[in-house]
Structure 1
Amino acid sequence: MKGKMKKIIVSIIVLIIGALGFVTIRLAQEGFDIRVENETNKEVSGLYLTYDNIKSDINIPSIASGEKYTLNVNQNEDSNNDFSEAALKLEYKDNKGNLHTEYLIGYFEKGYTGKAVVNIKSIDENGKLEVEIKNHTSVY
């Protein structure tokens, strides 16, 4: 009987520790983890992230062919006081100076979390990118 009770207590303690660990990990993640993958045979540069009421656009450094760049966009820290809701956009200009916009997160507010992966598939002769975006957003 004592052995069975001990196993039950140990199991409860393990469950509590696991639950606390999960909550701590969820609270530690703020904003959006963004990964940009350059699947082309050329270096990609001139990319930046933006949204309405951001303090300043977030420049992405040049990404060599076959390389990845990861960053975190924290709307709780990166936004000005007027921020309430927005869409997270990847923007760049092509060789002719035309602005191109790709939506990474279609809608978010303060407190939202998530991740997005941007796969740059190809670059045409004018510098226009073909991209594939996968994202996931949570409201907590």
Structure 2
Amino acid sequence: MKKVIGVILVLGIIGLGSYFLLLRQEGFGFTVKNQTNKEITGLYLIYNHINSDIKIPSIQPGEETKLHVTPTEDFGENSMKLQYKDSKGKQHTEYVIGYFEKGYSGGGKITLESINKNGEIQMKVEDTTRLY
């Protein structure tokens, strides 16, 4: 009986340790889903002091792509934005993480819902940012 309790205790500790290790994973994971009827290209993730913009690969209609961003630059308060240019060359910006600092983690889901004739994208953003 003591062995069974010991095994359950050890497995519980390993399980909890794994759970908290996954929660503390550094950086931000994003899923970008294209629910429009057109291929979407030219999307970038940016934040202040970024070394180079993060290009999101082209996404076919009905498809999704996943990416992980781990900011390594030196900064304090920050926000992460999705940027793109419409067919007239006008730049559009959408916040995907309104606020983060070094050590924050999480991510979000970006759903591209529709695109009009000018190339303006209607999107829904869900943020799951965690402190440390």
TM-score by length of 1: 0.88
Q: Which residue of 2 aligns with 1:24?
A: 21
| Structure 2 residue runs without a partner (length 5+) | none
User: Alignment length, in residue pairs?
Assistant: 132
User: Structure 1 runs of 4+ off > 2 angstroms?
Assistant: 5-8, 23-27
- Of 109-118 and 13-22, more deviation after overlay is shown by 13-22
Q: Distance in 2 between matches of 1:11 and 1:36?
A: 39
- Match of 2:16, SS? helix
Q: Distance in 1 between matches of 2:114 and 2:23?
A: 35
Identity of aligned residues (%): 46
CA RMSD of aligned residues (A): 1.2
Q: Which residue of 2 aligns with 1:132?
A: 124
| Structure 1 residue runs without a partner (length 5+) | none
Greater C-alpha radius of gyration: 1
Pair 1:69 & 2:68 matched: no
Q: Distance in 2 between matches of 1:109 and 1:87?
A: 8
Between structures 1 and 2, the one with greater helix share: 1
Question: 1:1-140 to 2 correspondence within 5 Å?
Answer: 3=1, 5-27=2-24, 29-75=25-71, 77=72, 79=73, 81=74, 83-140=75-132
TM-score by length of 2: 0.93
Q: Distance in 2 between matches of 1:59 and 1:14?
A: 41
